C-alpha cells in the first residue's frame, strides 16, 4: 500500500504493521478515507495469510501521530440529518465489519497505544486481542455520552462482553470519563503499560512471540467455546433481579433531564447482551444512528467539542503575546472564595500568599484548604506527604510585606468598591512592579475598580465560581483600560489553574451574573404569580437544569439580587433613565422580612433542618398561592420561561458587546450558571430549538419567544439579530 493512505500496511519479519496515519489531518479520525484504507489494509493482511500462512505470525496496530486515534469524524456527523441515516448506518457497519475481520483473522493482534485513544480510537484497540500503552498523562476512554452519542464502533458490545453489563455501564459507558494509562490498566481497558515509546513495538512483538503456541491469543473471549458473560446475561436469575433497577437508577442520576444518549446506551447494552455478537453490534449501530442524526447530538457536540476546542486553542487570547506562568500568587481575603482560590492554586504548584486583615482569619482560610486536602487523603486520591507539600505552598499572613515577590494578585474580599480599592492599592505597593491585579468580583465594573490603583492597565476581572475546587469555569472581565498583556496573562493563569476561561467586556453583572439572575428571578417571579414552587423546581429538572432555581437563589442569598436591583434603580435615577422594578423583588423582600434570606440565614425558599434534607417551605403556598385549581399551569411554559429567559438575555449581552463570542456564551452558560447541557448552551439553543411541531432552528425559536412575550412579558421578546436571522432563514450564530 502507498504512503498516501490513512492506514499504511507493512509486513516486516512476520509481523504485519497497520500504521494509522492520516496524511491530511493532524489526528486520525474515522472519516471516509479511514473506512476505505482500513478495509484495504485488512484485505492485504488476509491476502498475505492466504498466500502463505507462515508469512504472518502476528499483527500490530499502531499510530504515527502524537495520539493513537481521535475518534469519529464529528464534522461529517454534524452535517448529516435524518435523510442520511441509511448512509450512516452502512458506513458504521462497514467499519465494524473491518474490525470484526481483524479480530477473527486467526493471528494475535496487538494495539500499541502511544497517545490518546478516545471513542473510536479505543474501539479499534478493543477489537485487538492485547493492548499495550505507554505511560503518560493522556486519556483512554469512551466519552461519546458527553457529546450526546454512544460508542458506535463496537464499544458497547465489546465492553459489555469484557466486563459484564453492570461494570461496563457504570464504570465506562455512562460516565464517559477518560482513564490515564495506569488507571486504564487497573480497569482492564489495557493489558500492559510500558515506560516509553521506544519500548512499545518491541513489547508488542514480544507478546506475540511469547504466545505463539497459545490458540487463545488469537481470539477474543466471546469467540471461544464455553464463554460466559461476566455477571451473566439479562436472563441470568441474579442479574434479572437487578435489571429493573437500572432504568430507575439512571433516571435518578439524570434527575429527569431529557438526555437521550445515556438511555440509548443502557438500551443497546441490555438488548445486545441477550443476543449473539453480530446482532448486538447491529443493535448498537441502530441506536448510534438515531442519536447521530438527532438535534441533541448537534447541540452537545457544538458546545463540548467545537466551542470548547475554540476556547482551548485560545481564540479569546490576544495573539502575539508570549505565555507567562505565575510563580507566586497573592490572594486577598481568606473567606470561602479566597480559601478555594488558594487551594486550587497551590494544587497546581504555585506558591500562594493568603492575606486577610488578621492572621487568625488568614489561618482559618488555610484551614479550609487543609480540610479539602484531607478529603482527598480520605478518598485515597492523595497521600499525607502530598497533602503537606500542597499546604506548605500556602502562606497565611496579615502583613502586606509578605506580598513581596508576587507576580499576580487575586482579591476576593467583600463586594464593596471602597474595600476593593483599598486592598488592591495596598497590594500594588507591595508586589512586583508588573504584577497582574485581578478582582474576583461577580458584579462590580472592573473599570471602576481600576480607578483605585496606579496602573489601571494591569487590572482585570477573574471571576471564579463557587465552590472553586469543583467549578471548572472562570469569567475573565476586560475593563476599559485593561491591556492585552493583562488579558493574556489572566488567560494563561486560568489555564495554569486548570480552569476553562471565557472572556467578556466590562459591564455591571458582566455575563454570568446577569444571565444567572434572569433564571433565578424568573423562578421567583413565578412564585409571586402563584405557580406552585414544587412545579417550578421539578420543571427545571425536567428541562435539564442540573440545579433548581429557587434552591440556587437560596445559595447566593436573597439579599444579593435585592441589593443589585436597588443599585440599578439608583444609577437609573442618576442618569434619568426609565427603570421598571422586577416583580420578583416583592417576593424576595417579603421572605427577607420574615428572616428567610437564604441558606446562610438558615431559611429562604427552603427550610434547612439540622437533621434531614432541605425542603421547600410550606408557607410559600399559603403566602403566594400555588394551587392551580381550575386553571392548571402549563408545565412546558414553566420550563420554557426558565430556558428562554437565559437564552434571550444572553443574546442581549452578546449584542450589547459584553460577550465577545458565541463559544464563550455557550460554554460559560453551561459550565458557570447551569444551563441545560443537552441544549448546547444558551445561544446554541437559539439555533437548535426544537418546537413541539417538530420544526427546528431560529425561526421556531423566534415564534416561541414571541408567544412567551405575548403571554408573560416583553422580557421574552426576540432580539433584532434573532429576527433578522429568522427572516433570512439562516442561523443566529
Grid coordinates standing for 538?
421539578
pLDDT score for 508 = 84
Which percentage of the chain shows pLDDT scores above 90? 89
pLDDT at 10: 96
Smallest Cα–Cα separation from 144: which of 259, 314, 280, 65? 259
Question: What is the average per-residue pLDDT within 480-505?
Answer: 97
- Residues with Cβ within 8 Å of 288's Cβ and at least 6 positions away in sequence, in order, are 92, 149, 150, 151, 152, 268
Residue 127 pLDDT class (50, 70, 90 cuts): very high
What gap in Å lies between CA 162 and CA 120, rounded to an integer?
Answer: 17
Q: Say how many Å lie between the first and final Cα of the chain, rounded.
A: 43
Q: Which of 463, 498, 678, 685 is catalytic?
A: 463
CB 479 within 8 A of CB 447: yes
Q: Give the side-chain half-sphere CA count within 13 A for 128.
A: 28
- Summarised one tens digit per residue, pLDDT across range 82-119 is 889 999 999 999 999 999 999 999 999 999 999 999 99
With a cut of 70, say whether residue 717 has pLDDT above it: yes
pLDDT at 627: 62
**Cβ contact 511:665 at 8 Å:** yes
Vertex 487 angle, CA 483 and 491, to 5°: 170
Measured distance CA(716)–CA(707) in Å, rounded: 9
pLDDT confidence of 572, banded at 50, 70, 90?
A: confident
Q: Determine the angle formed by the axes of helices 635-655 and 512-528, rounding to 10 degrees.
A: 150
The pLDDT assigned to 577 comes to 86
| pLDDT bracket for residue 630 (50, 70, 90) | low
Active site residue 463: yes
Cβ 476 vs Cβ 494: under 8 Å: yes
Which residues neighbour 106 within 8 Å (Cβ) at sequence distance 6 or greater?
49, 218
CB within 8 Å of 36: residues ≥ 6 apart = none
Q: Each residue of 150-172: pLDDT tens digit?
A: 999 999 999 999 999 999 999 99
In 3D, which of 574, 436, 575, 440 has the Cα closest to residue 510?
A: 440
Higher pLDDT, 564 or 589: 589
- At residue 72, the pLDDT reads 87
What does the alpha-carbon distance between residue 488 and residue 491 come to, in Å, rounded to a whole number? Answer: 5
Q: What is the DSSP string of 702-719?
A: HHHHHHHHHHH-GGGPPP
Q: What is the pLDDT of residue 126?
A: 98
**Which of 212, 192, 211, 215 minimizes the C-alpha distance to 203?**
192
Count the neighbouring beta carbons within 10 Å of the beta carbon of residue 44. Answer: 17
Q: For residue 113, list its beta bridge partners.
A: 133
Q: CA 52, CA 72: separation in Å to the nearest integer? A: 35
The cell for 347 is 494544587
Per-residue pLDDT averaged across 341-349, rounded? 97
Q: With bands split at pLDDT 50, 70 and 90, how would you rate the model's confidence at 459?
A: very high
- Cβ–Cβ contacts within 10 Å for residue 357, how many? 12
Q: What average pLDDT does the segment 543-565 reach?
A: 94
According to the model, what pLDDT value does residue 256 have? 86
Cα separation, 197 vs 69, whole angstroms: 16
Tell me what pLDDT residue 570 has: 85
Contact 7, 44 (CB under 8 A): no
Contact between 591 and 550 under an 8 Å Cβ cutoff? The reply is no
- 411/262 Cα distance (integer angstroms): 41
Domains of the chain as residue ranges with CATH: 7-293 (3.90.226.10), 328-505 (3.40.50.720), 513-728 (1.10.1040.50)
Cβ-based neighbour number of residue 577 at 10 Å: 9
The sheet with strand 7-12 has its strands ordered as 7-12, 15-20, 58-63, 109-113, 130-134, 192-194
- The whole-number average pLDDT for the span 382-405 is 96
The mean pLDDT value for 515-525 works out to: 97
pLDDT tens for residues 249-268? 998 889 889 999 999 999 99
DSSP lists the bridge partners of residue 71 as 29
* Mean pLDDT score, 369-392: 95
Q: State the CB neighbour count (10 A cutoff) for residue 381.
A: 10
In angstroms, the CA 305 to CA 176 distance is: 14
Cell of 456: 489601571
Extended beta strands in 197-356, E state: 328-332, 351-355
Distance (Å, whole) CA 269 – CA 155: 10
- Give the CB-side neighbour count of residue 205, counting CA atoms within 13 A: 13
Range of lowest pLDDT (69-78, 445-454, 646-655): 69-78
* Triad 266, 269, 274: Cα angle to 5°: 130
Asked if residue 336 has a cis previous peptide bond (ω within 30° of 0), the answer is no
Amino acid at each position: 500500500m502507498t504512503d498516501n493512505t490513512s492506514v499504511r500496511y507493512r509486513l516486516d519479519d512476520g509481523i504485519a504493521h497497520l500504521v494509522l496515519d492520516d496524511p491530511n489531518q493532524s489526528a486520525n479520525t474515522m472519516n471516509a478515507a479511514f473506512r476505505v484504507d482500513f478495509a484495504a489494509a485488512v484485505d492485504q493482511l488476509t491476502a498475505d495469510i492466504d498466500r502463505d500462512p507462515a508469512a504472518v505470525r502476528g499483527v500490530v496496530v499502531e499510530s504515527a501521530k502524537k495520539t493513537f486515534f481521535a475518534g469519529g469524524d464529528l464534522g461529517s456527523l454534524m452535517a448529516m440529518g435524518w435523510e442520511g441515516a441509511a448512509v450512516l448506518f452502512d458506513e458504521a457497519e462497514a467499519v465494524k465489519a473491518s474490525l470484526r475481520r481483524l479480530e477473527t483473522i486467526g493471528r494475535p493482534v496487538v494495539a500499541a497505544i502511544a497517545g490518546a485513544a478516545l471513542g473510536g480510537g479505543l474501539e479499534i484497540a478493543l477489537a485487538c486481542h492485547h493492548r499495550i500503552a505507554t505511560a503518560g498523562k493522556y486519556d483512554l476512554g469512551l466519552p461519546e455520552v458527553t457529546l450526546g452519542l454512544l460508542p458506535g464502533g463496537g464499544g458497547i458490545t465489546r465492553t459489555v462482553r469484557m466486563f459484564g453489563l453492570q461494570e461496563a455501564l457504570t464504570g465506562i459507558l455512562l460516565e464517559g470519563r477518560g482513564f490515564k494509562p495506569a488507571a486504564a490498566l487497573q480497569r482492564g481497558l489495557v493489558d500492559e503499560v510500558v515506560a516509553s515509546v521506544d519500548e512499545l513495538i518491541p513489547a508488542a512483538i514480544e507478546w506475540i512471540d511469547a504466545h505463539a503456541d497459545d490458540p487463545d491469543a488469537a481470539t477474543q473471549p466471546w469467540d471461544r467455546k464455553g464463554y460466559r458473560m461476566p455477571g451473566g446475561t439479562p436472563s441470568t436469575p441474579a442479574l434479572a433481579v437487578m435489571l429493573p433497577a437500572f432504568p430507575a437508577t439512571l433516571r435518578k442520576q439524570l434527575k429527569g433531564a431529557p438526555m437521550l444518549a445515556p438511555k440509548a446506551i443502557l438500551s443497546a447494552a441490555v438488548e445486545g447482551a441477550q443476543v449473539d455478537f453480530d446482532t448486538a453490534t447491529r443493535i448498537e449501530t441502530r441506536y448510534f444512528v438515531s442519536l447521530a442524526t438527532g438535534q441533541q447530538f448537534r447541540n452537545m457536540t457544538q458546545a463540548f467539542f467545537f466551542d470548547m476546542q475554540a476556547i482551548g486553542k485560545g481564540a479569546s487570547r490576544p495573539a502575539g503575546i508570549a505565555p507567562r506562568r505565575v510563580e507566586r500568587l497573592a490572594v486577598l481575603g481568606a473567606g470561602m472564595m479566597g480559601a478555594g482560590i488558594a487551594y486550587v492554586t497551590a494544587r497546581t504548584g504555585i506558591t500562594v500568599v493568603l492575606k486577610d486583615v488578621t492572621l487568625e482569619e488568614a489561618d482559618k482560610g488555610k484551614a479550609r484548604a487543609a480540610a479539602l486536602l484531607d478529603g482527598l487523603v480520605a478518598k485515597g486520591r492523595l497521600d499525607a506527604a502530598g497533602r503537606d507539600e500542597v499546604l506548605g505552598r500556602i502562606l497565611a499572613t496579615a502583613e502586606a510585606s509578605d506580598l513581596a515577590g508576587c507576580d499576580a494578585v487575586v482579591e476576593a474580599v467583600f463586594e464593596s468598591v471602597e474595600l476593593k480599592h483599598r486592598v488592591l492599592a495596598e497590594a500594588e505597593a507591595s508586589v512586583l512592579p508588573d504584577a497582574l491585579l485581578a478582582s474576583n468580583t461577580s458584579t462590580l465594573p472592573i473599570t471602576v475598580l481600576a480607578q483605585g490603583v496606579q496602573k489601571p492597565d494591569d487590572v482585570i476581572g477573574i471571576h471564579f465560581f463557587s465552590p472553586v475546587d469543583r467549578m471548572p469555569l472562570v469569567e475573565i472581565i476586560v475593563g476599559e483600560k485593561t491591556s492585552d498583556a493583562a488579558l493574556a496573562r489572566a488567560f494563561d493563569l486560568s489555564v495554569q489553574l486548570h480552569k476553562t476561561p471565557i472572556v467578556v467586556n466590562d459591564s455591571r453583572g458582566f455575563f454570568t451574573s446577569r444571565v444567572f439572575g434572569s433564571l433565578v428571578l424568573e423562578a421567583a417571579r413565578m412564585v409571586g404569580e402563584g405557580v406552585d414552587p414544587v412545579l417550578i423546581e421539578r420543571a427545571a429538572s425536567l428541562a435539564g437544569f442540573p440545579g433548581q432555581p429557587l434552591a440556587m437563589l437560596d445559595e447566593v442569598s436573597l439579599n444579593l439580587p435585592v441589593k443589585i436591583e436597588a443599585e440599578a434603580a439608583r444609577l437609573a435615577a442618576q442618569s434619568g433613565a426609565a427603570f421598571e422594578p422586577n416583580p420578583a423583588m416583592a417576593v424576595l423582600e417579603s421572605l427577607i422580612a420574615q428572616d428567610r434570606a437564604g441558606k446562610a440565614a438558615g431559611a429562604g425558599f427552603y427550610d434547612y433542618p439540622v437533621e434531614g434534607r432541605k425542603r421547600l417551605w410550606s408557607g410559600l403556598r399559603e403566602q403566594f398561592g400555588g394551587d392551580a385549581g381550575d386553571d392548571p399551569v402549563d408545565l412546558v411554559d414553566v420550563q420554557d420561561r426558565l430556558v428562554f429567559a437565559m437564552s434571550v438575555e444572553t443574546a442581549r449581552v452578546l449584542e450589547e458587546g459584553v460577550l465577545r463570542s458565541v463559544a464563550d456564551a455557550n460554554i460559560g452558560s453551561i459550565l458557570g450558571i447551569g444551563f441545560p447541557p443537552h441544549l448546547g448552551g444558551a445561544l446554541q439553543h437559539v439555533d437548535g430549538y426544537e418546537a413541539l411541531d417538530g420544526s427546528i432552528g431560529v425561526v421556531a425559536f423566534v415564534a416561541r419567544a414571541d408567544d412567551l412575550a405575548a403571554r408573560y412579558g416583553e422580557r421574552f421578546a426576540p432580539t433584532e439579530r434573532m429576527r433578522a436571522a429568522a427572516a433570512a432563514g439562516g442561523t443566529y450564530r
